[in-house]
Amino acid sequence: MSTPNKTTVSASIPITLYDKLVRIGIIDPSKTRDSHVGASDYSKKVIQPWSIWVEYALNSWDADIVKRTLRNKVTPNMSTQTSRIEDYEKIQHVCSERIRQLRLELLEPDPKSNLNLDENSKSPKYRDLAGENSK
């Protein structure tokens, strides 16, 4: 029995699976994903954030959270741990903004904002800087 060459292994997969893997970037005949720009190391990974964004049809908010979760970027003059803390703080910030937007879409007031909703008319009314309700 012969052993396969470790640098070239041939396998058959269904064409529909192949096409899907090309679409989401797991297989990249164009070699676009073989390099990266910037300090992150996504191109060294089989699954890059882009693949997840496409497969799950993520909006920009969710895509940003995935990207920050997956990266291994060390900010200059910061330790690895401090850089990760900064990433998680950015994720929290993005999440807070997205929650604020979703609450506004549902006409649910954000308890931390100065926006209140009139219970009778469902129209927004704002607090002035002194905390008094204005019309």
Give the pLDDT confidence score for residue 116 in this predicted structure: 56
Tokens of 117: 């909703």
Contacts (Cβ under 8 Å, ≥6 apart) of 57? none
pTM of the model: 0.62
For residue 134, what pLDDT band results from cuts at 50, 70 and 90? very low
* Averaged pLDDT, 2-22: 75
Looking at the DSSP assignment, which residues form a beta bridge with residue 124? 117
Q: Is the separation of the CB atoms in 49 and 66 below 8 Å?
A: yes
Rounded to an integer, what distance in angstroms lies between the CA atom of residue 109 and that of residue 37? 40
Q: What's the mean pLDDT when you consider all of the chain?
A: 79
Per-residue pLDDT tens over the stretch 20-51: 999 998 888 888 877 777 766 777 888 889 89
Rg (CA), the chain: 23
Which of 49, 45, 54, 44 minimizes the C-alpha distance to 22?
54
Question: Which segment of 9-13, 36-40, 52-56, 110-114 scores lowest on mean pLDDT?
Answer: 110-114
* Averaged pLDDT, 8-12: 69
Looking at the DSSP assignment, which residues form a beta bridge with residue 133? 127
